[in-house]
Amino acid sequence: MEYVILTIGVVLSVAGIIGCFVPAIPGPPLNYIALTVLKLYDGSSFSTTFLVITALATIVVTALDYFLPIWGGKIYGVSKYGIWGSVLGMIVGFFFFPPFGMIFGLFLGAVIGEIFFGKEFSEAFKSGWATFLLSLLAILIKLSVSIVFTFYFVSYFF
């Protein structure tokens, strides 16, 4: 049974880290589930307070992942075309040039969307750059949380 729990936890942890880069995979929630699986297997591994705090961190990071680029985009004047362009560019980049294509696709999509909206290239570039940087910040925050959760899983399992 111990190997099954370890395997499930490792698969969830690795998938969680990959999910920090792939939009369709929820990174930190998978890492949180790995911690919960370990708690269910060995009730003494984590306190309930620890799991509540990590659940709150998971919720906050997941919300930031969705809202940070949009919020930042509004501050820098990104239009709806720029936001939709960044989403479409990220999806196209993911399928044609994974994994880095989605990051650069996000940037190019935002710029193209802003140009389509009627902005000059320099202003469209600035909007695309802001969307790109804030998306990278969201990825780094998710990755940091996922790595910390994976560390806790590994350290408590062994």
For the segment 87-103, what is each residue's pLDDT rounded down to a tens digit? 888 888 888 887 678 77
Q: What is the reported pLDDT for 110? A: 87
Name every residue whose Cβ is closer than 8 Å to that of residue 6 and which is 6 or more positions away in sequence.
157
Q: Give residue for tokens 């650069």.
A: 104
- Cα 39 to Cα 47: distance, rounded to the nearest angstrom: 8
> For the CA atoms of 98, 101, 102, 105, what is the dihedral angle to 10 degrees?
-160
Q: Which residue has 């820098």 as its token pair?
A: 76
Q: Enter the DSSP assignment of 97.
A: S
Give me the pLDDT at residue 145, please: 96
Sequence ranges of the domains in the chain = 2-157
Per-residue pLDDT 10s for the chain (158 aa) are 678 888 898 999 999 999 888 777 889 999 999 999 888 887 777 888 999 999 999 999 999 887 887 777 778 788 888 888 888 888 888 888 876 787 788 889 889 988 988 888 988 888 888 888 888 888 899 999 999 999 998 888 77
pLDDT the model gives residue 135: 82
Among 80, 102, 77, CA closest to 89: 102
Closest CA to 31 of 148, 157, 149, 140: 149
Q: Sign of the C-alpha dihedral, residues 112, 130, 86, 75?
A: negative
Q: What is the overall mean pLDDT for the chain?
A: 86
pTM of the model: 0.80
- pLDDT on residue 61: 94
